[in-house]
Structure 1
Amino acid sequence: MAASHLRPGSIPRPAGLDSLAPGSGSIRLRSTRPRSESAPGGPRAATLARRPGDDMERPHAAHGGPGVALGTDPANRTRDPVRPGRDGAATRRRRPRGGRPAGRFAQKGCLVADASYGLGLRRGTLEAAERTRAVSPPTAQSYRQVLSGLPVAVYLADAQGRITFFNEAAAALWGREPELGKDVWCGAWRSYRPDGSALAPREGPVALAIREGRSIRGEEIVIERPDGTRRNVMVYPDPVRSASGEVEGAVNMLVDVTDRRRAEDALRRSEERYRTVLSLLPAAVYTCDAAGRITYYNEHAAQLWGREPRLGATDRRFCGAHRLWLPDGSALRHDGTPMARAVEEGRSFRNEKLVIERPDGSRIAVLVNIDPIRDEAGRLAGAINVFHDTTALVLAEQALRDREQRLREADRRKDEFIAMLSHELRNPLSALRNALATARLDAQRLPQALEIAQRQTDHLARLVDDLLDHARITQGRISLRREPTSLSRIVERAVEATRPLFAARGHRLSVSGPSDLRVHGDPTRLEQVLVNLLSNAAKYTDPGGEVAVSLAGDGGEAVLRVADNGAGMTPELLQQVFEPFAQADRGLHRPQGGLGIGLTLARRLVELHGGLIEGRSDGPGRGSEFTVRLPLLLEQQGGVAAGEPGTAPRRAARRRARILMVEDNPDAAESLRLLLEVLGHEVAVAHDGDAGLDVARARPPEVMLVDIGLPGADGFEIARRVRCDPALRHVTLVAVTGYGRDEDKRRSREAGFDHHLVKPIDAETLARVVARLESREADGAAAPGEGDGSAVAPREGAAAAPRLGATR
């Protein structure tokens, strides 16, 4: 086996070579050829043995013949005559100080050599005497040739460490030929420990084996040759003992493992690079062996697991996660993971989705990719898993699915809303048509018909206003006109606006709370919020029910509650009651009516005021309660003065004004002319822009009511031409249109209009316009008007021109 394939502590000995048996004091060379192929006494076998009863004298120069000296003096280090004993066995005779030969000493082992199959050093007992006597004894020269021909380095040393023999492999390994009997312990130029520290010869393995009388197996040292090169070797020294058990020397075998060490170093460096690359990957990586024990993981894996598992542990095999789950939420055992299946089945897995639970209970979604690992023989040795965190992606996908679901729901609600809108518009239009027909057919019923027409017209106006407000809020284009406002006055106005609805259904309405709570808000919008809440309470409470409005202070907040004992709400409806177009009753009957956007508007308006609105219900049939919380003013002031917003507008003074109306719709023009004439004004009508300009130049009016969408020159063009005509610069321009967006109002202001009124225009608004004109003539200056939501900011440089006043 090549050195590069050996491992420390498990290095096979060269073929046939084991050791010199500790305590045996013997050397045995034996052929590894099968007995049937090596007959006793054959030419391949040579035996040098020590048998009980044989005398072995110490070699003497006169004896002659080749030999190997063990324990001889330096002058006799290369030759040691061996004389034949009885039965052809080679013997040596030890001569005591008195000169007489000592008794023969027995050997417990033998050295057997076979030139074809190598050399073996073994422990053991003496071969059977009969077999030993049948083998021809080798000569000392043949013994030396066998040692010299070994494929591994072997050398012998005496008890003082002097080298008495070495073979060619040892000299080649050392890079020199040591001087026998002079060089001690080792023939290397220098010796080192594996860590690079110097190793003194007396501290080397051979010295230790002789000093302690024990064998040493597989200790690694580094030897340095005279040329400076170094080799890694494994040493196997055995002590050589005499018959009395005394250590006479040692035999050492050296195995060059330099190539193996270099291969191991290269492998280690490769593994280090491999681990460095894996540690730098932006993904989690870990490996396990064929038993599922984790053998490696990088920092990313530990972070995703939320723990650092112990390598080689068996409590959590195949994965270091605390717990595992499938995407559907079902638990997954560690031995059922894709990693376990990859090890068991030897196949790869791609983009498998799992959920990891960390020790702290948090969970993350991961995507795993696994490949099996095989050894050189193709056997499964484990698997490698590369996985990464996909939690953000999973959440994004879930958010996308939720959004798609919401869009589908919104689309469904839109369809329902269009159907509801059609229903809500047709009902008042039908009532209007019937009222007008009744008035034409029966003059006595005219007052009743007009009352019906007025109610239905107001209803249509509220529907359109709600739609416009919802559009503004959805697009973030609604603005507030905030000022110190009395909440008690807001409650009074809202109750007064909804009183007819309560009276029609026979409800009992109660109001309670202090009158000094003030907030910084838009009075019109806050009234709109409360009107929506009161209207819902009236509609969804059976006739004869009770509705309570309460106002209170709570710390730095004003708390407004509207409670009823009506239909109540299910938990499902309560969760979506503030969503657009959400209504409890979507059936064909729809006795409550409405578009389902009132509470949506209320919530947004309250939030714009920095407040909060909440709904509560104990269930169907158990009533509802809505609570509005608004921040109070930092400094509370007394009651609301008579002239503050929220008070009733002053009655418009009657004054005859000269008005020019430019309107292309004949019916709209005629109806508005009749209304203005009833109010006492002088009215002229033109049905296109050019005609309107001609009439204005012929007899300049005080007020021009101009439709925007005119044939020919539109309303914007008329306004620009009027402002460029010195004779008409005093005219107050009022845009009358069905377009009420902020963008439409901005364009009107830029064109030169003083005001922007959105159709339909009621009589009170027109009266205020003319009254404001009279007021300005008297005061000589323009002042802000009462709120009707229709004002356009004055133009720069237009202060000298008469204006009707800013209205809201």
Structure 2
Amino acid sequence: MTGFEVCDILGALTDAVLVADGTGQIVAVNPAAERLLGWPDGELVGRPLGDVVPLDAAAARPEALGRLLRGRARRRDGTEAEVELTLSTARADDGAELTVAVLREPELGPRPEVGRYLRATVRAAARLGAGLRPEEVLQAAAESLVADFDAVLARGWLYEPGSATLMLWADAAPAPTSGGESPAPIDPAAYLEKIGEVARSRQPFVRNGLEGEPLIDQGWVTREGIAAAAVFPLVSGDELRGVLALFRRRPLSEEAIEALQALAAIVTVTLGGVRPPVDGSEAEAQRRRLQTVLEVMPVGVLVVEGPEGRLMLANPAAEQIVGGPIAAASIEEFAERFTLSHLDGRSALPDERPLLRALRRGEYVRDRMRYHHPDGAEIILEMATTPLPDRAGAVATFRDITPQVRMETDRAERAAQLKALLDHLPVGVAYLDEQGVCRACNGAANRLLGRHRQELIGAPIEELLGASTELREAVARCLHDREAQDVEAIPWPPSVSNDGEPARYLDWRLVPLAAEPNRPRGALTLILDVTERTRARLALQRAKEAAEQASRNKTQFLSAVSHDLRTPVNALSLQAELLACLVAEQDNPSGELTMLVADLQQAAANLIELLNDLLDLARFDSGQIEHHPSDFALETWLSQTLAPLEVMAHAKGLQFSWRVDQPGRVVRADRIKLGRVLTNLAGNAVKFTERGAVEVTAGAGPDGALVLAVRDTGPGIPADQLERIFDEFAQLRNPERDRTKGTGLGLAICRRLVESVGGRLMVASRPGAGSTFTAILPPDHLPDVALPAPATCDGSTRPDTAPGAAILLVEDDPHSRRSLARLLQHAGFAVEPAPDGPSALEALERGRPALVLLDLMMPGMDGAEVLRRIRAHPSRHDVPVVVLSGDVIGERSRELIALNVNGMIAKPVDFDELLGVVNRYLAASQAAG
């Protein structure tokens, strides 16, 4: 090859070239490959190509030959480098098949620092000419380190094999100038241990930041401001030639380190060469091998020589790429035949062409340009040019990257489409890196967070999330624990609007990104506007709280009204009872007086029934009805409940009967409320039936349910009125029934009582044929809190009393207190009345009663406080206490049970019931005492 050797051309190529034989062993490399992969000169030869080049299954297929591939090459130190790879095959002169791999770092645009250090290396190589003594080689290298690599101290040692010692032969430092870099004191003791270690290990030492390096004096590093050091062993084959070292006050860039490695290799070659001398035949064989490599390289190679840039070499790949033969011509003629333009469409001026820039300016150029193919097509070329050392010439390599550019363009278009799609999503999307810094976001995120994209990108988590501790903790858990996090209805931003509510409520979903190679790490954040939903939920919650408060207010009102209504009615009922007792004691009372007393008692009973109905209806509306179940014998309960009604029926001349289908059956239910249902149904039957009979039956349903049925022979109910028979205040129009009108509440309350335990109340009737009311109740209704059943009397007549027993009566209403005290005294008890709580406690101090009858709602100290003090007293804590009140529902009942109350009787008080309770507790007390 005229004017140039193939090894010169391959050595000047910026692309890494590796050649492997048929067994896959590397047989030749150029210096660019050694620099890229970090292997000392000659050590790559003999290694498997697959150890350093990514030859995966895709790259090994035949269709991969000649195509541009991407992968990761393995360096000597174990790290990996992103490379673009092109493979081709060729045959040597002896017929052996060769594989040629061309590698290039996928970086775009010129790298000025690489060019600077490349030119520095060329200048150093020029100074290391033939005929120099070893010490002169080292001195020239040291001076180059100072002049071209900004060393403040450079030194070189030669190894003496005989004495196995290092001898200092080179020393260089910058000359002191005003304002320039001052040399560092030599001070050999500061670093000689590190020089010796590098010589022994034969491994280079290159480091930015020498803090903590044990073999270099830290005091010297601090005093002189040493920021970087590079120490290279000069090894040729297995023989140590010497050591070259430099120290700088600025860090070393990657480009500087690569150039220093190249310079160290040049010094090593100059000192002895990396290969032993070869005879002419071997040199010719090597030249032909490299010639073959150049010809089969899939990368186009052009070589120009001389000041005019005479085209001296174009390999087959170059002619294939440009679409025709390239005859020897000047570079200007070549430019006229093969036109180039910039990527933006502008024509490339002569001085802008990469090859001319390398030839005439000595620049290292790497660029992309458009080439207009002779067949009319337009392709994209990636070009790299460099001047040849020691000659007036330059080398250019280029390849067709049109498919790659199209792929990149498609990728950019898809990225733009994806960005447009993300920007139009109603959901905010943001990417947070591993430190929680926002690196990307869509338009919805900007809108929802109320900030411009420029304010969000690069914002740390503290600034991005503001005062939301909950959000910051969720982000920290997502990034640290790599678990998805959901944070709901976060007020945003921290400031509130005029109406006291945040401008928005946002749901946040944080998803950790997979920790895979070449994939972003951090968290993907999804932000959803839930303002309307959250405000509706909060409004519903506020409405619920308001309704609950209204219910509590209604309960308090009901309690107060219940007490205020029952108190005067209680006094009226007790006075009527007392009047009846007084009249009965007369020897010959007048008939008119007896009738008036009976009418008064009946009116009081009607008033009590109406009051109970109204209050029960109010309790149902406020949800205050509670059930207190207990176990009782069904037959005994029927006998006691129906006894008064049986007397009423016989007085009207009606037949009255009742039966139990299962004698001896025990049921579990609220006997008081169940009694109200049965009394109301049977009472209506007696009230509205003028002739005939009333029959009550108690049986069992197919599932064990309790079935109560009341049949009568009364006037019946028209079919058009059956639908509203259970409505509140419903009064049926029937001449036969109009004789005895009611309030229209009884059946409505019965239905609610039955349905409140999961039962059903039904009616069957025909006009003139009577009616049948049927209540079906579940076999076992278990309440949330089992309350003791209110006390009842076990008979329809007054029980025997215990004369002389002391009873403390605590009642604030004077009318009720006087009437009840007279009745109890008339029954034979010793009664001490007390108008309030303090008076009751004083009476207890004077003596212990057999029983305390205690009003619950009193001014000042109420009945619950009196009971609490009684139970807390050491000597009277076990006195029986029965509460009298019109308010023994809900929380008040639970409070009394917690205070160990013995019994509760609702006002208005039924005196017969009261006597039964008093006698029962007195009998129990006497039995225990």
Per the shorter chain, which TM-score range? 0.3 to 0.5
TM-score when scaled to structure 2? 0.35
More helix per residue: 1 or 2?
2
TM-score when scaled to structure 1? 0.39
